[in-house]
Amino acid sequence: MSGLNLEHVTKQFGTFTAVNDVSLSVPDGTFVCLLGPSGCGKTTLMRMIAGLDLPTRGSINLAGHDITEVPTHKRELGMVFQSLALFPHLTVGENIAYSLRIRGVGKEEQKKRVDELLAMIHLPGFADRSVSKLSGGQRQRVAIARALAISPKLFLLDEPLSALDAKLREAMQVELRQLQQRLGITTIVVTHDQREAMTMADTVVVMNGGEIRQAAPPVEIYRRPADSFVADFIGQTNLIPFSADNAGRATVLGEMVEGLSIPQGAKGTLSVRPEDVQLTAPGHGVIAGTVSFIRDLGGAIETFVEAGGQQIVAVSSPRNRPEVTVGQSVGIRLDPETSVVLAK
């Protein structure tokens, strides 16, 4: 069995369960993002993979070996910490060479490898600088280079880009993904930023309350969310309650909507992305509502509609600007293709 495999991993701190019965399989060479709100257990899960915390129950396998109890320093990891954890008493070069030095690699070879890595992170000639003299983005790159110095079996990053400003963060996301694809290294990133996860990951693992809610490729997470938490957490969505009669016809906000495949007699919630909500003239077969607010963001127009006591948001591009004003009655059409039925 290759890759990283977690089986029924649980971590309790006293009576608090931080990670609850998590099983996950990460094939070799893939990029996985652990995504979730703060306190969802994603960092604890990563710390257990790194050996910085021990699971209360469950096992962790790497490349066919059970590493659950293996101490951190024997796991051959590369890890980038949220605080970056660059050693303040060492230079940039010494930081990068640290894992080589403590393995007794010769001075010449250390220097060669440091130069290679500095070139890779676009900071050639920085070896003798003090880490305190670097900018945020440079420190970030040095931390990444340091973690990759020994070509680790597993590359772990805990909220690696959270200290950077928005523009730099976006650029680093792309760079990190390209680097990972070039090296083909198995990578796990903890993040609370869904854009970051969508940009970089092969597989996004959405966590909440210590449990995995869904693990799937980014587009599938967005298009086919497993539950209302995932639907709401990833991007914007409208969560609309529905009920179905015995013939499987669904009633949504007082209107029959055709074409939804719903089990007979079920009740539940529909997740409809704002860009999939179509505004039309009021009439038969569409949900009746009233425009309450229009937000024109320049690149997109958000129209807020009150319907059946609920607010529904529709997003359109400036080309397809809806011809509506606040207070106007409109119809809402839901496309069965893009309306996701969430089990209740």
Partner 1 sequence: MTALRRLFFFLVGLFLALPLIVVAGVSVNQKQTLAFPPQGFSLSWYGEIFTNSEWRNALIASVTLAALSAALALLVALPLAWFLWRRVAPWANIFRLLGVAPFTLPPVITALGLLTFWATTGFYGQPWTAVISHAIFFVTLPLVTLSLGFSAIDRSLVEAAATMGADDRTIFRTVVMPLILPYVVSGYAFAFVLSLNEYIVAYMTVGFTMETLPIKIFNALRYGYTPTMASVTVLFLAIAAVVFGLVARFGDLPKLLGAMAEDK
Partner 2 sequence: MRREPPQRLADYGPLFFPAGMLTVFFVVPFATMIAVSFFQREQGGFYQPAFVLDNYARFLSLFFGRVLGFSLMLAIAVAIACVVIGIPFTYLLSRTARKVQILWLVALLSILSLSEVMIGFAWSTLFSRTAGLTNLFVWLGLMAQPQALTPSFGAVMTAMTYQAFPYTVLVLYPALVRLDPTLTEAARTLGASPVKAFFTVVVPALRNTILATLIMVFIFALGSYLLPQLLGRPQHWTLSVLITDQAIYQSNMPFAAAMAVFLVLVTLGLVGLALYAGRQKEAA
Where do contacts with partner 1 occur on this chain (CB under 8 A)? 50-52, 71-79, 81-83, 85, 87-89, 98-99, 101-103, 146-147, 149-150, 156
Minimum CB distance to partner 2 smaller for 51 or for 152? 51
Q: Report the residue from 4, 31, 42, 51 that binds partner 2 according to the rule CB under 8 A.
A: 51
Q: Is 256 in the site for partner 2 (CB under 8 A)?
A: no
Give the contacts of 107 (CB within 8 A, at least 6 positions apart).
none
3 state DSSP class of 201: coil
Residue 54 near which of partner 2, partner 1, none (CB within 5-8 Å, type-dependent) = partner 2
d(CA 95, CA 92): 5
Residue 82 near which of partner 2, partner 1, none (CB within 5-8 Å, type-dependent) = partner 1
d(CA 157, CA 119): 21
88 close to 132: Cβ distance less than 8 angstroms? yes
Q: Is 72 in the site for partner 2 (CB under 8 A)?
A: yes
CA-based angle 199:48:163, to the nearest 5? 45
d(CA 187, CA 222): 21
Residue 156 near which of partner 1, partner 2, none (CB within 5-8 Å, type-dependent) = partner 1
252 close to 312: Cβ distance less than 8 angstroms? no
Q: Is 103 in the site for partner 2 (CB under 8 A)?
A: no
Residue 53 near which of partner 2, partner 1, none (CB within 5-8 Å, type-dependent) = partner 2
Give the contacts of 88 (CB within 8 A, at least 6 positions apart).
131, 132
Q: Is 52 in the site for partner 2 (CB under 8 A)?
A: yes
Cα within 13 Å of Cα(131), Cβ side? 19
CA-based angle 129:134:136, to the nearest 5? 155
46 close to 190: Cβ distance less than 8 angstroms? yes
Residue 99 near which of partner 2, partner 1, none (CB within 5-8 Å, type-dependent) = partner 1
> Which region, judged by CB under 8 A, interacts with partner 2, from 47-55, 158-166, 260-268, 299-307?
47-55
Q: How far is the CB of 47 from partner 1 (least distance, A)?
A: 8
Q: Is 83 in the site for partner 2 (CB under 8 A)?
A: no
> Which region, judged by CB under 8 A, interacts with partner 2, from 50-58, 94-102, 294-302, 334-342?
50-58
The footprint of partner 2 (CB under 8 A) covers 51-54, 72-73
